[in-house]
Amino acid sequence: MITTNNLCRRFHVGDSWVHALDRVDLQIDKGDFVAVMGPSGSGKSTLMNILGCLDTPDEGDYRFLDQEVADMDDDQLSRVRNQHIGFVFQSFHLLPRLTALENVLLPMRFSDSDPSANQQRGLHLLERLGLSDRTDHRPNQLSGGQRQRVAIARSMINEPPLLLADEPTGNLDSRTSEEIMELFEEINGRGQTILMVTNEEEIAAHAKRLIRMRDGKIEDDSTTH
């Protein structure tokens, strides 16, 4: 599903360069469930942004679903982002004027699937995430952890083949975190590929594979179960 070759991303800050990603070679197969760990600043979010086609590498290449991402035009890129990738950001990116349920249903706006079935799925996801009494609240009427769960529901609503989640359980209590991991295991069991960044070993333990990053490099990559 994902192949990267010699992926490099650097940023010019002041008069020096930060090597956020330094020659990353990575392969992820369909159905994999990968946890990415590593110290702050080790390049985890940078990697997620590139894999999510939100950022482009300075060097190296990235193939997603057998297609060279650098060769895609804007239409192809937005189709890939809308239909094939679900993204949970470290900052949740909810639209302030929409309710929780409307935010969850955003990825369905260009889909031709039945709106009432979508609505039911949205409600079901919010219920699974403990938010059935918050579906009509707007983001500023929700706590940080509740917003985060709305963002998680939104990333899953169209069952994207690839789910990228940057610290999906950061800030959440351990019970809610476990519930989110159950949901992740469930959708992974249905064949969806998941890549998630986490700082917590207990959360990473739900994944099948653990990648450790340091200084923009993959330091360790092991199958856990």
Angle, helices 174-189/144-156, rounded to nearest 10 degrees: 0
Q: Using CB under 6 A, pick the residue from 24, 28, 37, 45 that binds ligand ATP.
A: 45
Q: Which of 2, 4, 28, 43: binder of ligand ATP (CB under 6 A)?
A: 43
In the DSSP assignment, the letter for residue 51 is H
Comparing C-alpha atoms, which of 201, 219, 215 is closest to residue 35?
A: 201
Q: Which residue's structure tokens are 């890549």?
A: 195
The two tokens of residue 29 are 């197969």
- Rounded CA-CA distance 22/150 in Å is 33
Burial of 23 (0-12, 13-18, 19+ CB in 10 A): middle
Q: Residue 139 binds which entry of ligand ATP, Mg ion, none, with Cβ cut-offs from 5 to 8 Å by kind?
A: none
Residue 37 CB, nearest distance to Mg ion (Å)?
A: 11
Per-residue binding string, Mg ion, 37-56, x by CB under 5 A, is --------x-----------
* 72 interacts with, out of Mg ion, ligand ATP, none, CB within 5 to 8 A per kind: none
Q: Return the residues of window 46-65 that contact ligand ATP according to CB under 6 A.
A: 46
In the window 2-41, what residues touch ligand ATP (CB under 6 A)? 11, 13, 18, 20, 38, 40-41
Burial class (CB in 10 A: 0-12, 13-18, 19+), 203: buried
Q: Is 99 in the site for ligand ATP (CB under 6 A)?
A: no
How many residues lie near ligand ATP (CB under 6 A)? 12
Q: Interface residues with Mg ion (CB under 5 A)?
A: 45
